[in-house]
Chain A
Amino acid sequence: MIIRGEDIIIRTIARVLVPFIQLYALYVIMHGHYSPGGGFQGGVILAASMVLLYITHGYSEVNRKFSVNIAALFSSIGVLIYSGIGFLCLILLGNYLDYSKLYKLLNVDPAHARSLGILGVEIGVAFAVMAVMFSIFFDISTGGISPEDEEEKD
């Protein structure tokens, strides 16, 4: 388990930078269908911001904001969004992930519906990637034992 670091310079700079890193990650996700980037890249940046906070501020600080249980929940929600949009297209008599069929639901022309569908899928990918990346890092750093269990053992 990583405890709160002692170096005040690193801790303060990380504290100031984390919100901007997170917003940049969301920017990469939301503009994935216009410019380089997308769900995976944005999700990794988002996870990196959480990992930075975890390294510099320790377990307890991050656990308040984003615990491992929430990470597990988010990874499933991400997959649900992805496959949900895919199956929605199937239900609307298209192929799997054939976004243009979504225009009946969204009330826009098919081209615009494609753009919005891709955005939705990328948000799902970002959720899943972010949560899984964070929980991988968390599992490696703790050796798979969550600190609460350890406290109970003591």
Chain B
Amino acid sequence: MEVTLLVQAADDAFRILENARGQAVDLLDTATKLTSDTRLMEEKKFQAVFVGAQKKKSALQNFVVTFLLLFAFWALLSGKFDTFHLSLGVICSFIVALIGHDLLFANLRVGDMRVIVKRFFAYLPWHLYQIVVANFQVAYLALSPKMPISPKIMRFKTKLESDISWVTLANSITLTPGTITIDIEEGEFVVHALSEKLADDLDTGEMEDRVAHVFMEADHIYIQDVLDVSRIFAEFR
């Protein structure tokens, strides 16, 4: 009697597991289908951007964002909030934005701004920590009597794509004590490092990965996939 109950229970359990597995497979299938759809759409959007269909819209958007930024800068400088000075600020920001709306956001994809700014500010504490650590390392190199330095120039190809991310990475490297970016030649960084350890730290590529994350390059599609799938799973649950 007990044995048959046990067998039945095991059978039920197996059936439930099988059902769950089938559902999970279905779920994953739909998820992958949806992500491939979104990826297709993403690629189409890129194409549209490259073809220049959105050129006019992005120019207007750039203009508006530049204008708002400049006006905030004006309010910060001026500190006078009466109508006369604010209207002067509006006129001045408008003129400058008209002249230079293609300067500030020349190579940025439209619509990514808010994420980039958020991620950039999240990147700063990590970079500050990195600077502090490197400071101690360089102080050790300078203070120890043997002076165990081994200056070297290293070259590495970067996976970053746009000029602003190259510049961010180059300045991050230069700001970190012990390493200096000498030049960027066609996406190849030429970096001077003070010691083997500092060069190795840079060679792990963590800084590059983080900059790529900030500007949503190289691993952008991958992150987008994960975000999409998580949203779909939340909906099913």
Contacts and interface: CB of A to CB of B under 8 A. Distances in A.
B60 to A, nearest CB: 17
Contacts of B30: none
B74 A23 contact: yes
Interface residues of A, number: 22
A26 B95 contact: yes
Interface string A1-35: 00000011101110110111011101100110010
A65 interface: yes
B167 A23 contact: no
Contacts of B95: 26
Given A9-B184, A15-B106, A23 B166 contact: no
Interface string B139-157: 0000000000000000000
A140 B166 CA distance: 33
B167 A30 contact: no
Q: Is the interface of B mostly helix, strand, loop or mixed?
A: helix
A12 B92 contact: no
Interface centre among B93, B99, B103, B184 (most CB of A within 10 A): B103
Interface string B67-80: 00010011001101
Nearest to A29: B92
Contact of B181 (A9, A27, A30): A9
Contacts of A65: 99-100
Given A7-B183, A8-B184, A9-B181, A24 B77 contact: yes
A20 B183 contact: no
Contact of B96 (A12, A15, A22, A66): A22
Interface of B: 66, 70, 73-74, 77-78, 80, 85, 88, 92-93, 95-97, 99-100, 103-104, 106, 163-164, 166-167, 170-171, 181, 183-184
The 6 closest A-B pairs by CB, nearest first: A26-B92, A19-B100, A12-B167, A22-B96, A12-B163, A27-B77
